[in-house]
Amino acid sequence: MPEITRLVPKEKKGLIVVITGNGKGKTTSALGIAVRACGHDMRVSIIQFMKGDLYAGEWDGIKKMDCKVELIPTGKGFCGIQGNPYPHEEHRKNAQDAIQLACQKMESGRFDILILDEINNALKLRLVDLEQVLEIIQRKPPLMHLVLTGRDAHPEIIESADTVSEINEIKHAYRKEIEPQPGIDY
């Protein structure tokens, strides 16, 4: 084993990271950030928008990790998707509660990283307003990292971010009518 060097930035800065695009891997990428942060003993809060109806392994996976990462699924599943029975107003109410929760987490000063999973979709579906997301970005504590995931990221959010990745679909098993698989898809 080589000697391990631990880099320390000369100047610490809280980044705004956007992970968007129509390919698979946005939420898993954000969860990867949480795993990495755990190694640095950093405190992470993950708020998932429009989730809560379909079990995902990360809900328990995070609890099993010996870390300062919390994950809070909110909502009642994907608004507008076939088979989702809840009206838009109910999805909006849930997403509005999630925004308030995100503000509380951010203002508590208790977290080094705040991850808002699927917030881009929530904005696209008008469950939250652009002004609300921009306000979170503006009020972000200088050292806290903010990660925003989901398809169709708004141009103004992309503009405000430091790092933006667009995950493009080259292939997805879904196209071959392969069902979502645990560990990979949820």
**Residues near ligand ATP (CB under 6 A):** 22-28, 151, 169, 172, 174, 180, 185-186
Q: Which is nearer to ligand ATP, 86 or 186 (CB)?
A: 186
Alpha-helix runs per DSSP H in 40-181: 58-64, 88-108, 119-124, 130-139, 155-160
Q: Which is nearer to Mg ion, 35 or 141 (CB)?
A: 35
CB of residue 89 vs ligand ATP: minimum separation in angstroms? Answer: 23
CB of residue 157 vs ligand ATP: minimum separation in angstroms? Answer: 16
Report the C-alpha gap between 177 and 87 in whole angstroms: 28
Which residue(s) pair with 149 in the sheet? 19
Query: Binding partner of residue 55 among Mg ion, ligand ATP, none, CB under 5 to 8 Å per kind?
Result: none
Report the C-alpha gap between 171 and 117 in whole angstroms: 22
Q: Which is nearer to ligand ATP, 7 or 169 (CB)?
A: 169
Residue 20 binds Mg ion, judged by CB under 5 A: no
Residues found in the chain: 186
Query: Binding partner of residue 174 among Mg ion, ligand ATP, none, CB under 5 to 8 Å per kind?
Result: ligand ATP
Q: Which is nearer to ligand ATP, 55 or 174 (CB)?
A: 174
The continuous run of DSSP H or E covering 19 comes out as strand 16-20
Report the C-alpha gap between 145 and 151 in whole angstroms: 20
Token pair 């949480």 in the structure block, residue: 34
Which among 26-34, 44-52, 103-111, 123-131 is the span making contact with Mg ion, rule CB under 5 A?
Answer: 26-34
Amino acid at 117: D
Report the C-alpha gap between 22 and 3 in whole angstroms: 40
Residues that bind Mg ion (CB under 5 A): 26-27
